[in-house]
Amino acid sequence: MKLIPTLFLSFIVSFKLIASGCTPPVVTSQPLNVVVCENGNTFFQIIATGPSLIYQWQIDQGAGFVNLSNVAPFSGVTTDLLSITIVTSSLDNSIYRCIVTNGCVPDDTSDIAQLKVNVAPSIATQPSNAIVCEGEITTFSIVTSGTGLSYQWQVDDGSGFVNVPAAPPYSGDTTGALYITGTTLSFDGYSFQCIVSGSCSPSVTSVVVSLTVNTLANISTQPSFVAMCENDTASISIIADGSSINYQWQENQGSGYVNLINSTLFSGVNTNSLIISGALASMNGYLYQCIVSGACLPADTSYEIPLIVYPAYSIFTSATICQGDTLVFGGSNLTAPGFYSNTFSTINSCDSLVYLSLNVNPAFYTTLSSAICEGDSTSINGNYETTAGVYNFVLASVAGCDSTIDYTLIVNPSYYFYDTTTICAGDSALIFGVYESTDSLFINSNSTFLGCDSIYSHLLKLKLNYFELEDIHICNGDSVLIGASYESSPGVYTTMYSSIFGCDSTVNSTLYVHFPDSTSQSITICSNDSVFVGGAYQNTPGVFSDLLSSVFGCDSTVTTTLSVNSSPTVVFDAVSTVCDTTTGFAITGGSPVGGYYYGPGVSGGYFWASAAGLGTHIILYSYTDSINGCSDTVASTITVTACTGINDLAFNSDFSTYPNPFNEILIIESVNTEASEVLIFNVFGELIYSLKIQKGKTEINLSEISSGVYFIQNRVGDKVNTQKLIKQ
């Protein structure tokens, strides 16, 4: 019953407003999506036209839009600029819009805009110290939270922290888990930390953790062979290294190895040196080894070493010598019969007691002689002898003692004569009454008055005559010495020489005479090229001569006819300035047409500002004449500047800023006759600078702000213009 009158009244009011010419509101500039860090400040803004405007900002956090009120963190909820201060993470992904009314219908509602709240990085779980064995994989990891996280692990080898290299043995150096594959001993004592950065500041650094690398047990020096006498003391030793190593000596009596314990027989069973005291003869051949274990597996086992135990002896013996002989016993020279005793060392240096009973028998002496010719032999005591002298040998007497015989051998001389004769091939020499011409050894034998040989040897050597060929090359007009005269005509010349043995030596020399050579060639180049002829680089047409040397050192002339084709005249005027948001466009301005363009951001004749990047780029145009093949290349420039939108280059002509990007000084130029307000915001929506300006140029110093991207607004009445700035 109440709804109908209300609708009817609204209809009456709306009809009257329309009838009276009422202008409804219109939103001309929509709000933009905003990204802000937690606890930062930001804003949403619209621009609307129409009289007596009323604004109402609304929020949608998942349950639909509701009106906002000026309660923290919100302010300006009924203006064209909604401010949000100390933004909390609970507002992440919330949606905003503004309803504009003025009593005229219809109302206008802005587009929606989203608020994205980034969270600063934090570390929930810190990395822990690591203890690994050499060659294993080491892992350090952290658990973090935040938005847009990135990681950088760092290492300190004693010289301060530096970034972990992105190369083996490291991996995961820019992730939450750092791996070291095949950790070597050189990493022992290194320290590590991780710097976590995100979309929001500040970065956080983890605690510093250390890496301990334990080494494997390793026996560097193996035990040596051990031999000892019965009841003596000996030791078996090794040298080992590794982390936290332990030793365990073992014995194998033939049924396998068992661990030794310290006793009267063994000591040092858990050290690197096993001591065996009072060894028993029964231990001969026992095997010993040492197990070395440590912080890392596997343990290392030494070589097995056999124990050699030599026995000591008590010996009774007897000996018989001949009269005049001496028996050495225990350091004494014995010649008389009797009973003796002494202590000896065995072959293994062990003590042995020896008892000796000595007997002495008589000896005899005889002399004999004979004569032979030099080169013959005779049997003396079973041996064939050839050298004159006295030979002593001993025979056994009936009593078993020596019977000494002195045998004198006389050797009568034989004579040997030797001679050599050298002749040339075709000659002969008189040898033993005969003319000989064969390369051979001739022998003549006679007998001396004592019946021994007299031999004469004559060696005949035959030397050959020589014949040689040679080739000689000269240039026309030169000469060369052949034999005893200078020759300059081609032909074969024969020269006779005598060898060092006086035999004939013939040399046939073939003389070749070479004449100068002339060669012609033609070369064509483009007018912007050059070629090396006539002793210099040439770029004009003509005929040029070069004097060269042939393979035989004779003159050779090369005549070159040089032709020069005209290179094309190429011009190129490129687009001077474009926005970084400009889409790809075809490059023009190159003449003659038909060439190709190349340079930063150029692909298929199109220029792409996003690929080239901000700044001034050199673009090249190359053209080749299809008739003569000559080409030329010219350069022009295209400047890519940062723009806030597709119409940034056409930014309101009443207000401009430059240079952009800038270093410290920014110039603002306004042609508005009325004063305007300038506001500068960072990317988080925070106001960092504001001022009032008049018509003309205004110079401001922004050296104190950090490098990055900013937004500058110019407000003149209801008119607002926004532009992106880049501080270098």
- The number of beta carbons lying within 10 Å of the beta carbon of residue 188 is 16
Higher pLDDT, 154 or 682: 154
CA gap 278, 274 in Å, rounded? 13
- The pLDDT > 90 percentage for the chain reads 33
> Beta strand 466-475 with 504-514: parallel, antiparallel or unpaired?
parallel
N- to C-terminal Cα distance for the chain? 68
Q: Do the beta carbons of residue 412 and residue 374 sit within 8 Å?
A: yes
Q: Are 232 and 276 in contact (CB under 8 A)?
A: no
Q: How confident is the model at residue 29 (pLDDT cuts 50, 70, 90)?
A: very high
Tokens of 473: 């090359």
- Asked if 344 and 331 count as a contact pair (C-beta separation under 8 A), the reply is no
- Which residue spans within 31-166 are E strands per DSSP? 34-37, 42-45, 47-49, 54-60, 65-67, 74-75, 81-84, 94-101, 108-109, 113-118, 122-125, 130-133, 138-141, 143-145, 150-156, 161-163
How many CB atoms lie under 10 A from the CB of residue 631?
Answer: 16
Q: Is the pLDDT of residue 11 over 70?
A: no
- Identify the pLDDT of residue 449: 67
- Supply the pLDDT for residue 24: 95
Place of tokens 């011409």: 437
Q: And the tokens for 16?
A: 């009257």
What pLDDT, on the 0 to 100 scale, is given for residue 576?
61
Write down the pLDDT at residue 351.
73
On the question of pLDDT at 393 being above 90, the answer is: no
What pLDDT was estimated at residue 574? 59
| Cβ–Cβ under 8 Å, residues 451 and 373 | yes
Higher pLDDT, 60 or 659: 60
pLDDT surpasses 60 at 19: no
Place of tokens 């004769």: 421
How far apart CA 107 and CA 126 sit, in angstroms, is: 56
Confidence at residue 14, expressed as pLDDT on a 0 to 100 scale: 41
Q: Domain spanning 122-214 has what CATH number? A: 2.60.40.10
Helix (H) or strand (E) holding 263: none
Task: Please give the pLDDT value at position 451.
Answer: 73
Q: Would you tell me how many other CB atoms lie within 10 Å of the CB of residue 259?
A: 11
Task: Extract the tokens encoding 245.
Answer: 């190593």
- Full DSSP string of 541-555: -EEEEEEEE-TTS-E
Task: Kindly tell me if the per-residue pLDDT of 727 is higher than 50.
Answer: yes
Q: How far apart are CA 294 and CA 272, in angstroms?
A: 14
At residue 29, what is the residue type?
Answer: S
Residue-level pLDDT at 677:
87
Residue 530, token pair as written in the block: 């050059």
pLDDT of residue 87: 93
Which residues are bridge partners to 396 per DSSP? 402
Range picked from 76-85, 590-599, 653-662 for highest mean pLDDT = 76-85
Give the separation between CA 136 and CA 544, rounded to whole angstroms.
75
- Phi, psi angle pair for 697, to nearest 5°: -95, 135
Query: Residue 647's pLDDT band (boundaries 50, 70, 90)?
Result: very low
Q: Which residue has the tokens 């587009």?
A: 111
Q: Give residue 646's pLDDT.
A: 37
Strand stretches in 362-452, DSSP E: 364-373, 378-380, 383-385, 389-396, 402-412, 415-424, 429-431, 434-436, 440-447
The per-type count for the chain, helices as H runs and strands as E runs, is 2, 74
Give dist(CA 434, CA 455) in Å, integer.
18
The answer to whether residue 9 scores a pLDDT higher than 60 is: no
Residues 524-532 have a mean pLDDT of 84
Of 97, 66, 93, 92, nearest in space to 82 by CA:
97
Give CA 669 to chain center in angstroms.
57
Fold of 218-310: Immunoglobulin-like (2.60.40)
Coil, strand or helix at 363:
coil
Q: Give phi and psi for 490, each to the nearest 5.
A: -65, 150
Q: Is 194 exposed, middle or buried (0-12, 13-18, 19+ CB in 10 A)?
A: buried
What is the pLDDT averaged over residues 707-726? 80
Per DSSP bridges, beta strands 226-229 and 305-310 are parallel
Q: What is the CATH number of domain 24-118?
A: 2.60.40.10
User: Would you state the structure tokens that stand for residue 32, as one six-digit string?
Assistant: 């933009």
**Continuous segment of H or E residues that includes residue 655:** strand 655-658
For 650, the token pair is: 């056409």
d(CA 728, CA 726): 6
In the block, residue with structure tokens 């474009």: 578
The whole-number pLDDT of residue 683 equals: 61
Record the pTM: 0.40
- State mean pLDDT over 341-360: 75
What pLDDT score was predicted for residue 1? 34
The span from the CA of 607 to the CA of 612, in Å, is 8
Which class is 653-727 in CATH?
Answer: mainly beta
Question: Shortest CA distance to 499 belongs to which of 419, 439, 422?
Answer: 422
Mean pLDDT of 166-186: 93
User: What count of other Cβ atoms lies within 10 Å of the Cβ of residue 229?
Assistant: 20
Which is it for strands 429-431 and 466-475: parallel, antiparallel or unpaired? unpaired
- Which residues are CB-contacts of 212 (< 8 A; sequence separation ≥ 6)? 129, 130, 131, 132, 188, 189
* pLDDT over 70 percentage in the chain: 92
Q: Going by DSSP bridges, is the β-strand pair 204-205/191-197 parallel, antiparallel, or unpaired?
A: antiparallel
Within 10 angstroms of residue 317's Cβ, the number of other Cβ atoms is 9
CA atoms within 13 A on the CB side of 524: 6
At 648, the amino acid letter reads: D
- Judged against a pLDDT cut of 80, whether residue 718 lies above it is answered with no
Token representation of residue 374 = 């030099």
Is there a contact between 699 and 678 (Cβ–Cβ < 8 Å)? no
